[in-house]
């Protein structure tokens, strides 16, 4: 039988997946409970703030997972931005293909539907995006870019990737993502 910590993790991972695929507003707590296999009482036990608190946890987890991937790429290509960008594009294109182009950025849908209306979600979303930008900027800084330019380039890469994920989903093709590596 799963322990309490497994129930909490299952709730967060299920929410993260459902929010990414069908949206925050279109995902109900009953669906999250049913698909997670967690007992009903565990939802409000772990997330007394309800759906918003669960959303914060889901965005935080997604941010950590993408952050780990970006850090791994940064460690592999510490001062080679082109190789870093190519690796980032390859991973994201692979994830999109694997989902049958039903997925996208693990936080975008949730953030778009909750920010700026929720101060808590705004703070969590800003923290996640800033962390990703810092990781990416580190690669540009290590290759000789000034700090301000490196942050601007990192923000541009992230914004470009977010748009490419939308295009890839609409077109059912990884090409928009892979084009970033060729053009960035």
Give the per-residue pLDDT at 103.
Answer: 87
Task: pLDDT tens for the chain, 184 residues: list them.
Answer: 457 789 999 999 999 999 998 999 999 999 999 999 999 889 999 999 999 999 999 999 999 999 999 999 999 999 999 999 999 999 999 999 999 999 888 899 999 999 999 999 999 999 999 999 999 999 999 999 999 999 999 999 999 999 999 999 999 999 999 999 998 8
Q: Are the C-beta atoms of 60 and 128 separated by less than 8 Å?
A: yes
Give the per-residue pLDDT at 1.
Answer: 43
Global pTM? Answer: 0.92
Angle at 106 between CA 105 and CA 111, to 5 degrees: 90
Please report the domains of the chain, with CATH numbers, ordered by start residue: 4-183 (1.10.357.10)
In angstroms, the CA 158 to CA 180 distance is 11
Q: Distance of CA 163 to CAs 8, 18, 35, Å?
A: 32, 20, 29
DSSP state letters, the chain: ---HHHHHHHHHHHHHHHHHHH-STT--HHHHHHHHT--HHHHHHH-TTTHHHHHHHHHHHHHHHHHHHHHHHHHHSTT-HHHHHHHHHHHHHHHHHHTTT----TTHHHHHHHTTT-HHHHHHHHHHHHHHHHHHHHHHHHTT--HHHHHHHHHHHHHHHHHHHHHHHHHT-SHHHHHHHHH-
């Amino acid at each position: 039988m799963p322990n309490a910590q497994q129930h909490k993790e299952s709730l967060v991972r299920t929410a993260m997946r459902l929010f990414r695929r069908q949206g925050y507003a279109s995902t109900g707590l009953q669906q999250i409970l049913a698909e997670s296999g967690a007992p009903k009482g565990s939802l409000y036990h772990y997330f007394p703030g309800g759906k918003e608190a669960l959303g914060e946890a889901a965005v935080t987890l997604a941010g950590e997972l993408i952050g780990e991937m970006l850090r791994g790429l940064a460690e592999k290509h510490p001062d080679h931005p082109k190789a870093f960008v190519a690796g980032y594009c390859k991973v994201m294109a692979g994830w999109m293909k694997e989902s049958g182009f039903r997925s996208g950025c693990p936080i975008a849908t949730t953030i778009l539907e909750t920010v700026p209306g929720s101060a808590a979600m705004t703070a969590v979303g800003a923290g996640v995006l800033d962390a990703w930008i810092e990781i990416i900027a580190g690669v540009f800084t290590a290759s000789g870019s000034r700090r301000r330019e490196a942050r601007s380039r990192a923000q541009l890469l992230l914004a470009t990737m977010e748009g490419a994920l939308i295009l890839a989903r609409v077109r059912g093709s990884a090409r928009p993502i892979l084009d970033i590596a060729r053009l960035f």
